Structure 1
Amino acid sequence: MPTEQTESTRAASASVTGYRLILPDDWAQIPLRHGTEEAVRRILDEAFSRIPPGSPEDKIGPYKRELERRFRAAVGRAQEGKALDLYLPVRSVGNANLGASIVVSESRLPHRRGQAAHSEPTDVAMQLLSSDGAENADLSSGELDGALAVRREHIADADRGAALGSRRVEYVVSVPDDPDRWFAAAFSTVGGGDPRDELAEALVEWFDAVMATLRWRRG
């Protein structure tokens, strides 16, 4: 005889269809699969609306073009990585300073002939986090909303695509009830120009607090 399920039991048994993070109002979400252009246009229009009336057009025109170029470049880089969502501080966008970002993505591991159906989540998470060969990374693990989470923090040196080095923190989280599915959130900041400065430290602590708000959405 079947037993009656409570609302919480039904919610726990439903498959994960999404996620939720709580961020301050001055951070905006840009979806990267659908509705990207609408979100980009809305954020840019809001930034342009904060330009003081009567500002000289010979200065405002180049400013708008450079702001839009930098903003769209950040969105484009996230899309190249096939991410789900990009989060940017819209107040910084208005100041033409895109010095921090959060990129959310999802990975599904392929099955290979001759391998076990599923690998241990801890082993998979460590492999995913170390796949780019970053040295001197600070690794730790724990749980977020009941799911295994591995955290990595490291300093990325400046390269051809970035004028400054950056402080990066990544969380890779095993999606509940689906061993081959992984959620990833990657935070990056240049701090006040030095990824080791006090501003970078404070922003890393802030991102850790944001990740503590992760909750799964279930169908």
Structure 2
Amino acid sequence: MLNEQTEPAVELGGIADATDPPVTGYRLLLPGEWAKVPLRHGTEDAVRQILDDAFARIPADAPTDRIGPYKRELERRFRASVAGAQQSEALDLYLPVKPMGDFNIGASILVTESLLPRPSGRSHGESEPTEVAVQLLSRDGVENADLSSGEIDGALAVRREHVGAAAPDKGAELASRRVEYMVSVPGDPDRWFVAAFSTVGGGDPRDELAEALVEWFDAVMANFRWSRG
């Protein structure tokens, strides 16, 4: 069953076209197994609710001497993920907190905001999508990425896909498949909404599970919609 994750105002809006209400946020349609952790307000309440729900699913006949260590390790890893997302000054983090079918999914969606000032002397709307993509995506040194551009809910969108190497020193024990969508905020071409999806698949970022999850995320973004005032 799908739940509509409707986000309230998240400071994404600018001066909208006179014919349209201003953008105040965004909407994602995600499975019920996924949960949202807001990273600017209400973070602790969301974290506590997710952990309580996870602890409640521990089998009643589980060995009592293992429950305590399991809870502590689960909470430590979960809070570390949230803290890492907060350090990137992101808006929201989405995680699959319940098994999907018979297995747990190693994946996440991180929502951030990026400001891209126009080059000197350049007016709104003059940049080509490929030029915008270069400016947005050349900052982090990623090579051999697949780039494409188009529109999502009437706004310019740029998609990048690549495989990120494992980085044990940063808590990434496995390589991951990454797909990022950057969508220009209507009414404010300098401001961009960014949704970054990451998955380790079944242990190989190019395996069948990773491929299926990338297709799923593409479908999620195809149904992305702005919230307007």
TM category (shorter chain) comes to 0.7 to 0.9
Superposition deviation, residue 130 in structure 1: 2.6
The worse-fitting range, judged by mean Cα deviation, of 119-128 and 82-91 is: 119-128
Structure 2 contact 105–201 (Cα < 8 Å) conserved: no
1:56 Cα deviation (Å)? 2.1
Aligned-pair CA distance for 1:12? 5.4
For structure 1, list consecutive stretches of 5 or more residues without a partner in the other structure.
1-9
Deviation for aligned residue 1:54: 3.6
Sequence identity of aligned pairs in percent?
A: 70
Give the aligned partner of residue 164 of structure 2: 156
Q: Does 1:166 align with 2:172?
A: no
Query: How far apart in 1 are the matches of 2:95 and 2:204?
Result: 19
Q: Which residue of 1 aligns with 2:69?
A: 62
The residue type equivalent to 1:116 in the other structure is R
The TM-score with structure 1 as length reference comes to: 0.88
State the structure with more CA Rg.
1
Match of 1:134 in 2: 142
Write the mapping of 1:12-161 to structure 2, written as runs, cut at 5 A.
13-92=20-99, 99-110=106-117, 114-116=120-122, 118=124, 120=127, 122=129, 123-159=131-167, 160-161=169-170
Secondary structure, counterpart of 2:210 in structure 1: helix
1:204 aligns with 2:214: yes
Provide, for residues 134-154 of structure 1, a one-character-per-residue CA deviation record: whole Å limited to 9, x for no partner.
111000111100011100000
Match of 1:217 in 2: 227
Count of matched residue pairs: 208
Offset from partner CA, 1:33-57 (integer Å, 9 cap, x none) = 1000000000000000001114222
- 1:107-148 residue CA offsets vs partner (Å, 9 max, x unmatched): 223468x55354626223331123211111000111100011
What residue ranges of structure 2 are gaps of 5+ in the alignment? 1-16
How far apart, CA to CA, are the structure 1 residues paired with 2:103 and 2:64?
Answer: 17
Distance 1:120 1:139, change over 3 A: same
For 1:194, the aligned partner's letter is D
Q: Which amino acid aligns with 1:153?
A: E
Instruction: Give the distance between the partners of 2:70 and 2:21, measured in 1 at CA.
Output: 48
Q: Which SS does the other structure have where 1:34 is aligned?
A: coil
Q: 1:170 to 1:102 in 2, by over 3 A?
A: same
Answer 1 or 2: which has greater helix percent: 1
Q: Is 1:71–1:98's contact at 8 Å kept on the other side of the alignment?
A: no
How far the C-alpha of 1:14 sits from its partner, in A, is 1.2
One-letter code aligned to 1:106: E
Aligned-residue offset at 1:13: 1.2
1:166 and 1:110 map into 2 onto residues whose CA distance is 30
The reply to whether residue 194 of structure 1 matches residue 204 of structure 2 is: yes
Q: Which amino acid aligns with 1:125?
A: A
Cα separation, 2, equivalents of 1:33 and 1:165: 28
